[in-house]
Amino acid sequence: MASTSAPPINLVEPGLYSHGDPFAQWRWLRANDPVHWHPPGELPGFWALTRYADVKDAYLDHETFSSARGILLRPDEHGADPGGGRTLALTDPPRHRMLRGLVDGWFTVRSVRALEAEMADIARGVVDRALEAGGCDFVTDVAARVPLYVICRMMGVPEADWEHLYTLTSQAFAGGDALTRRVAHLEILGYFEQLRKARAAEPGDDLVSRLATADVEGAPLDPRDVILNCDNLFVGGTENTRIAAAGGMLAFLRHPDQWRTLVDDPSLLNSAVEEVLRWTSTATHIMRTATRPVTLHGKRIAAGDRVVFWLPSADRDESVFDDPDRFDVRRRPNRHLALGFGEHFCLGSMLARVELRLLYRELLTRAPRIALDSTPKLLDSIVVNGPERLPVTFGR
């Protein structure tokens, strides 16, 4: 029977995700209040969706639940998201489909497979350096580098600049004070502005060239839209995979029997990657804005209300996943929502899966004995969840 005694509910406290137990709150909400009004504080009020079916249905109903006014909670005083209506993540059909159509050829199964040999070389080189050192911070030295180098290659970033962008992303997205993060992110935007100009003048076979020379509805894509979409692709192509790779390794370290199962039977690697994606569900929340009134589980959502999907909760829904709080590399079926659903299903989903598979394959064959070197540090964030620091040692 569902409990009627509610725990304190505060899903926007960053410390909950680094030092608390958000799953206890989500579990109670799924059972008792699946469409929960979260009152305003430093962030505006919103409706919290915590059940798998509700999140999936809302993803599909883009006419009611719009992305165009932003997909992340932000203080009202920050104003509208500058990418609203301009980027892949922050547009609704039909413009979303037009923008996606410009670049989705790069992320098909065929295209990713064509890049797989280069991606394997990148993963091997990253693991080489970590093994030579005997240990590392898995987040910054391994998990962050593989997806960043791959997306740099796809976007036409010269290899000489990869480390520069690695440094900027480390400052912009991996902790530190707000000013440092903002300055670093502005530098990333500035870098892509220069690259846009270069590729507009001399296009190559890369994603930035495609955007810089694109026409949408019979007109060139606005230069600001090019830059914002470059940033969207770059961040999307690096951060979620970084956190999933690191969060997955933390799960293996906390469930060593599952790592041993993979070492003994590498044929389980594909299902293990899906379980890593479900378990980590790295995008903690995704927001939509209601475009019209709608009633859900007896709750009246008004036009203009914010509606927030809590993906880690949906991916632990007891009605969908057997024993959902168990990390199981053999789990099948595994229809998680970690990569979104419907129109906004993650463009780089195939790329992320291949990157994770290649990285873990390198580690399984060359460093099957991985151990924590000290206590991990989790991110203080309501946006993405996972390790900020994961010190490990390697052995055979």
pLDDT digits (tens, 9 = 90+) for 135-175: 999 999 999 999 999 999 999 999 999 999 999 988 887 65
**10 belongs to a structural domain:** no
Closest CA to 103 of 179, 156, 30, 160: 156
Residue 132 Rama label (left phi>0; alpha psi -120 to 50; beta): alpha
- Categorize the per-residue pLDDT at 42 as very low, low, confident or very high, splitting at 50, 70 and 90: very high
- The residues with which 262 forms a beta bridge, in sequence order, are none
Q: Inform me whether the pLDDT recorded for 51 exceeds 80.
A: yes
Q: 178-217: per-residue pLDDT in tens?
A: 788 889 999 999 999 999 999 999 999 999 999 999 998 8
Q: Which tokens hold the place of 226?
A: 């090019």
Q: 60-98: per-residue pLDDT in tens?
A: 999 999 999 999 999 999 888 888 889 999 999 999 999
> Rounded to whole angstroms, how far apart are CA atoms 305 and 38?
11
Return the pLDDT at 182.
87
Q: Domain of 272: which CATH number?
A: 1.10.630.10
**331 belongs to a structural domain:** yes
Mean pLDDT rounded to a whole number for the chain: 94
**203 belongs to a structural domain:** yes
Return the pLDDT at 12.
97
Q: Which tokens hold the place of 83?
A: 């990418």
Q: How many domains does the chain have?
A: 1
Domain ranges, residue 320: 15-395
> Rounded to whole angstroms, how far apart are CA atoms 127 and 123?
6
**8 A C-beta contact, residue 299 and residue 37:** yes
Task: Say which amino acid occupies 145.
Answer: R
Residues 6+ apart with CB under 8 A from 313: 22, 23, 26, 27, 29, 30, 50, 51
391 membership: H or E segment, kind and range:
strand 391-395
**9 belongs to a structural domain:** no
> Rounded to whole angstroms, how far apart are CA atoms 161 and 163?
6
End-to-end CA distance of the chain: 48
**69 belongs to a structural domain:** yes
> Rounded to whole angstroms, how far apart are CA atoms 329 and 234?
29
pLDDT cut 70: percent of the chain above it: 98
Return the pLDDT at 1.
43
